[in-house]
Structure formats: structure tokens, C-alpha cells
Structure 1
Amino acid sequence: MDTVRCASGRLASIVMRIGILGTGNMAATLGGAWRRAGHDVLVGGRNPASGGATLRDAATHGELVLLAVPAQVAPPLAADLADVLAGRVVLDCTNPLEPGPDGPMLMIPPGESVAARIAAAAPGAAVVKAFNLCHDSIWTLDPPHFEGLPLAVPYCAATPEAGERVAALIASMGCTPAPCGGLARAPYLEATAALAIGVWFAGGRARAIFPEPAQAT
């Protein structure tokens, strides 16, 4: 099995090819984190600069493909690239949020998720909801540890195989994989993002909401 030493000194046991669709902050910071972990990353944009990669180039490059675009753009983009995405693991880090009077609100009906819409748009892909709960700045930390513990990254995967692949990717970043079930549970991750962002905007600490039961003893 191939290995590569990443910037922090960790050994990544599997070098993954990752295509990133989008050129915003999440694309830049997650792409940087994955490069530091030793992975082969190609970022593609809708209007690439001279010599840059296109969205289709990035999708073709990646065995894993990240949709780092606005939530409303992700399903139609997946449909446009469905032929390329077939057989690949597609990561959805989007949050379908819009401003509300008391904080961010979900802009899709209860029980639905962007991840499920992406899966319907690209039925040959194995979609995994992940990397949607942290601000993009968190991915600039190497490694992202807090209060002496590695950051836990929750994910919901369409298939066990896709989940295992994403768990290995998360571990290579120095984080802890936190499996949260199948893609049917992706709405809970998207709703959690709305809750956490609302707490941050109100000046609170979302981390303080989730103490572990063991801390009571």
C-alpha cells in the first residue's frame, strides 16, 4: 500500500485522488487540509483562469469528489456531471440555509436533504454528507485539535464502502471519524448546522451544548 508523509509528520496510508468542484473558501481550506495530509487534489471552477481546471476536469480526476458550491447549485451540478460521477464517492459539504428572523433557517422541507437530492441527480454516485458543521477556517488548523482532543467529523454515507473511504480521509487529516448512519440521516446534519450557526450568531458556544454523559460522573 502506498504511503506518503504529510506536512504534520503523519503517514497517510492511502493516497486519494480528490476532485473539488468550486473555488470558494471551503474548496480552498479543505483542499489545503487534504494536500497537507498527502492527497492528490485538483480544484475545478465554472470559469477557470487560463490553464486552470474545469468542473468536469476535477470530477474526472477524483475518486472522491467534493461539491463545494452553494446548496441550491449542488443538485443541478451533480445532474450535469452524472456521467462522470457514476462510480465515485461524492462528498456534500453544503448547508441549505437562508436568513430568518431568529437566525438561519433550512430552505428545504423537513425530512429532505441536499445530500439526497444530489444522490437522486447522480444515481450512480455514492453520496456522503460530511464536513458541513465547521466554519471553513477550522480546516486551516493542522491538526484541528480542541481541548486536547481531535476534531470529530460526523458523516452520513449512502453505502458502507463510501463511509469507510470517507472515514479514512477524515482520519488522515488528524480528525476522528464520527459515523452517523446512512444518507437518510443527512437531514439531521443539515439541521444541526442551522442550530449551531444560530448559536454562534447569538454569541453562544455551540460546543457547550453537547457535553458527554460521562462528564456527569
Structure 2
Amino acid sequence: MLFGGRSPERARALADRTGRSAGTLRDAAGFGDAVLLALPYDAVAGVLAALGADGGALRGRMLVDCTNAVGPGFRLTTGTGPGAARTIAEATGARFVKAFNHLPDAGWRRPPPAFAEGPVAVPLCGDDPAALETVATLVRDLGCVPMPVGGLDRAAYLEATTAFLIGLWHSGHDPRSLLPPFEAVTAPPRTGAELRGPRPAPIVGG
């Protein structure tokens, strides 16, 4: 693993803390089998420009995007235009997977990210089957469960869902309280007789 950042000092400090290596942004973009883009969304354009036109060092590479374009009021800063994932994928020409964006960084610091209900599921969006499988392996290595939810066209929905979740968390609400157990929404519908319940037994008097 190699860390590269906008601040060489911070990249070096993170590398020293984790026992890894540090380098430039271009070093990080060309290192290993996959690149994790973990930046504030408003910094992405500048970083991509530093890596070169038409994708530069990321073209053809496996890129995992965990950015969230969320601004004041927990609204998407991408507005009605293309989502963050689509914009980044088209700008880089990378083998792109949207993943790891639905939890705050504190969630990923748990070893592993698992709770009483079980391990965390990680939604994956992308159009490259090999890239999706590689990221799914990374998810399992973290102790989580990969959840492929569609192609790049579905990433905008994942980004909007994450913005909604962030708003709930900051408002002190538990998003899990919105959802019934899985069995409750997948069980066969109850018939009229089942809804009415059993008929009372007749009473026989003397």
C-alpha cells in the first residue's frame, strides 16, 4: 500500500502511522492493483488535473471511488447534472467501481466493521466485471459483505442515498429504524382469512 495526497506531509504521516509507504499523487495513481480515491469531492477536479489530461495516470487503472458530493443541508452538490461517479469515471477512463462511500471513516476503523446484526454490507456499482470482483475480494478481506447493486448508472442512486443517510445521522436519527426486518417484506402476502385470524370456537351450553 502506498499513500499519496495533496499534502506530502500528511501522506508521510499516515504512511508512518500505518507502516506503509508514501509518494506523490502520480506515484499513488500508478501503484498496486487498485487505486482508492478518498478525497473531498470539491478537491477531485484539481487532483485529476494534476494527474494529466484524459485520465492521465488513472486511464485503464482500477479506480475505487468513495467520494461523496454532499454540501450544506446534506444535499448533493452535483445538482441535476451527472453524479460524482459518472463525472469521475468519464474524466479518468478508469476501470471504475463506486464503493465504501456509504459509511463515515469511523466505521471503517473498526477491525472488522461488524456489529450485533452482523458484518456491514458494502454496495458496489460498476460496469467492469473483473474490477467488481477485485473490489468484492477487498470487501471480504475487510470482514464485510459485498453487495453488487448494479452498473455505473446506479451509482447516482447510491450517492443520493448516502446524502440522505448522512442527514439522518447528523439529526440524531438511526436509519435502521426506517426499515422492517428483511423477512417482513419478502414473506408471501397474507390472505384475507389470515388477516381476519382464526374463527372463535363455538360455545356449547347445557
2:78 to 104, 108, 116: 108
Q: Which runs of 5+ in 2 are unaligned?
A: 13-20, 188-206
2:121 to 140, 152, 163: 152
Is this contact kept in 2: 1:79–1:122, CA < 8 A? no
Note if 1:85 corresponds to 2:58: yes
- Alpha-carbon displacement from aligned partner over 1:11-37 (angstroms, at most 9, x marks no partner): xxxxxxxxxxxxxxxxxxxxxxxxxxx
Is this contact kept in 2: 1:47–1:54, CA < 8 A? no
Note if 1:63 corresponds to 2:57: no
Question: Which protein has greater RCO, CA pairs closer than 8 Å, 6+ apart?
Answer: 1
Q: Which runs of 5+ in 1 are unaligned?
A: 1-40
Higher share of residues assigned strand = 1
Is this contact kept in 1: 2:4–2:27, CA < 8 A? yes
Structure 1 vs Structure 2 CA RMSD: 1.9
Q: Distance in 2 between matches of 1:130 and 1:111?
A: 20
Larger Rg computed on CA atoms: 2
Q: Distance in 1 between matches of 2:154 and 2:46?
A: 22
Any idea what SS the aligned residue of 1:180 has?
strand
Any idea what SS the aligned residue of 1:43 has?
strand
1:186 to 124, 147, 155: 155
Q: Distance in 2 between matches of 1:112 and 1:86?
A: 20
- Scaled by the length of structure 2, the TM-score of the pair is 0.77
Pair 107,172 (structure 1): closer, same or farther in 2 beyond 3 Å: same
Pair 162,208 (structure 1): closer, same or farther in 2 beyond 3 Å: same
1:53 to 19, 23, 28: 23
Q: Distance in 1 between matches of 2:159 and 2:84?
A: 8
2:2 to 36, 42, 67: 42
Q: Distance in 2 between matches of 1:126 and 1:87?
A: 6
Any idea what SS the aligned residue of 1:61 has?
coil
Amino acid at match of 2:7: N
Runs (4+) off by over 4 Å: none
- Scaled by the length of structure 1, the TM-score of the pair is 0.73
Amino acid at match of 1:63: D
Any idea what SS the aligned residue of 2:131 has?
helix
Higher share of residues assigned helix = 2
